[in-house]
């Protein structure tokens, strides 16, 4: 009986943590589009700065790099605290696979958005952190991603 009960509990746990991918499209106005573009460019410029420090000093841990570059990222690139942390994480992750070459990031490289950087405001808007402050941007969600609003969690 215990095995049967344990198996049932594990199955319920598995079912409750199934992930669903949402395909969303931002629908920014011209001002919001410019803010988002500036955010991408500054974010990836900060990645190049941190990548140079990491490569030259052979520092590849988040903690070590954060102590050295965090304040510079905030001041030089005008990024929010969470975006600065994401810059460091992106660079560290890139060096996990190859530490023999300097890693350069393009102006429009990806940004992983977590719930502190991007949050849903209903099913038709998101609040997103940019270098010009937080902005509420309309979105559309693809048919595949239609789920109840209460279930949206985690990085985007």
Nearest to 35 by CA among 88, 87, 78, 91: 78
**What percentage of the chain carries pLDDT values higher than 90?**
71
pLDDT digits (tens, 9 = 90+) for 32-68: 999 999 999 999 999 999 999 999 999 999 999 999 9
Q: Which band of pLDDT confidence, cut at 50, 70 and 90, is reported for residue 5? A: very low
- b vs e for 136-153, b when ≥16 Cβ sit within 10 Å of the residue's Cβ? ebebebeeeeeeeeeebe
pLDDT digits (tens, 9 = 90+) for 78-102: 999 999 999 999 999 999 999 999 9
pLDDT digits (tens, 9 = 90+) for 58-77: 999 999 999 999 999 999 99
Ranges of each domain in the chain: 22-147
pLDDT of residue 20: 65
- pTM of this prediction? 0.79
Q: What is the dihedral of CA 29, 33, 35, 40, to 10 degrees?
A: 160
């Amino acid at each position: 009986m215990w095995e049967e009960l344990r198996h049932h509990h594990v199955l319920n746990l598995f079912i409750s943590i199934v992930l669903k991918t949402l395909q969303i499209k931002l629908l920014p106005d011209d001002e919001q589009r410019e803010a988002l573009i500036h955010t991408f460019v500054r974010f990836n410029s900060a990645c190049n700065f941190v990548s140079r420090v990491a490569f030259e000093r052979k520092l590849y841990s988040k903690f070590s790099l954060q102590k050295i570059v965090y304040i510079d990222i905030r001041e030089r690139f005008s990024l929010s605290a969470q975006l600065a942390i994401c810059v460091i994480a992106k660079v560290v992750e890139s060096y996990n696979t190859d530490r023999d070459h300097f890693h350069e990031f393009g102006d429009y490289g990806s940004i992983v958005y977590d719930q502190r950087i991007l949050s849903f405001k209903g099913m038709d808007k998101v609040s997103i952190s940019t270098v010009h402050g937080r902005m509420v941007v309309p979105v559309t969600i693809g048919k595949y991603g239609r789920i109840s609003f209460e279930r949206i969690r985690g990085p985007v």
